[in-house]
Amino acid sequence: MVKEKQNGIKEVSVEQKLIALFTLQQIDSQIDKIKIIRGELPLEVQDLEDELAGLETRISNFKQDIEKLNQGIDDWENAKKESASLIKKYEEQRMNVRNNREYDSLTKEIEYQDLEIQLSDKKINESKFKIENFDADIEEAESRLKERTADLDAKKGELTDIVTETEKEEIDLHDTSVNNEKYIEERLLSAYKRIRKNARNGLAVVQVERDACGGCFNKIPPQHQMDIKMHKKIIVCEYCGRILVDGEVANTVSEQMK
């Protein structure tokens, strides 16, 4: 398959170029999968970290609201005490009034302070009800925080393991990729990289399956299928421009990569 030219430079057959191209495609597809896995996990970790930060902020805000409500309860309790003190004072003064006008005036003051006490009780009860709801919200948020923290720890561990494992695998795959590139002339390699860049799934070299292109799934004319099987020249799909190989090349690559 590899011939020596007169100047001593090795001549690579079309079949070997096709094998090298398809091998390169398989390697690059594996690298793509590694990058996809590594690409998704950091995003998941970031999403979890953002969610935890949001939960922590939410819990902090609830606690601040509770603190304000408790301060309000203290203020209303003090207002009740002040009103009770005034009622006691007015009742003592009412015992020593000199006329009905003073009596009626003090009675109105006592009634007003009674209303103030009722208002304070209402505000206190409303605040306590809100505090109960905030306590329930905090409990729910803290439970969620605990659960998502465990998820974050697991994802971080998973990411660390994957990065550790895939870094070596990616380096090995890259070395194999470089080794295969030496069988591919610069013009063909540039075409391969250009097709890969433009292809949505990164497939530049595909196998003919069921008489159709393995990339765009359009039917391949019988004559082109025959040319592909002959391994005499590089054949591309007339619809999507991908480089086409037959089952023999695909099986050879599969055996080599086991």
- Is 88 domain-assigned? yes
Note whether residue 84 is domain-resident. yes
pLDDT, residue 9, reads 36
Please check whether residue 182 lies inside any domain of the structure.
no
Q: Output DSSP code: residue 211.
A: T
Closest CA to 70 of 131, 120, 20: 131
Q: How confident is the model at residue 255 (pLDDT cuts 50, 70, 90)?
A: confident
* 153 occurs within a structural domain: yes
Instruction: Give 209-246 pLDDT, tens digit per residue.
Output: 999 999 999 999 999 999 999 999 999 999 999 999 99
* 189: its two tokens: 């390699």
Letter string b/e over residues 15-44, b meaning 16 or more CB atoms within 10 A of that residue's CB: bbbbbbbbbbbbbbbbbeebeeeeeebeee
- Is residue 57 domain-resident? yes
State whether residue 203 is helix, strand or coil.
Answer: coil
Write the pLDDT tens digit of every residue in 103-118.
999 999 999 999 999 9
**DSSP assigned state of 236:** B
- CB neighbourhood size of 110 (10 A): 18
Closest CA to 188 of 225, 249, 236, 228: 236
For 150, counting Cβ atoms within 10 Å of its Cβ (0-12 exposed, 13-18 middle, 19+ buried), the class is: exposed
Q: What is the pLDDT of residues 73-127, one digit of tens each?
A: 999 999 999 999 999 999 999 998 889 999 999 999 999 999 999 999 999 999 9
d(CA 68, CA 131): 10
User: Coil, strand, or helix at residue 99?
Assistant: coil
147 DSSP assignment: H
Phi, psi of 62 (to 5 degrees): -60, -45
Please report whether residue 243 resides in a domain: no
For residue 61, give the CATH number of its domain: 1.10.287.1490
Q: How many domains does the chain have?
A: 1
3-state DSSP helix/strand/coil percent for the chain, to nearest 5? 75, 5, 15
pLDDT at 37 exceeding the cut of 90: no
Does 117 reside within a domain? yes
The tokens of 91 are what? 């009742």
What are the tokens at 114?
Answer: 């009674």
pLDDT at 258: 67
Amino acid, res. 40: E
Is residue 236 one of the residues assigned to a domain?
no
Range of the domain at 50: 40-168
d(CA 31, CA 224): 31
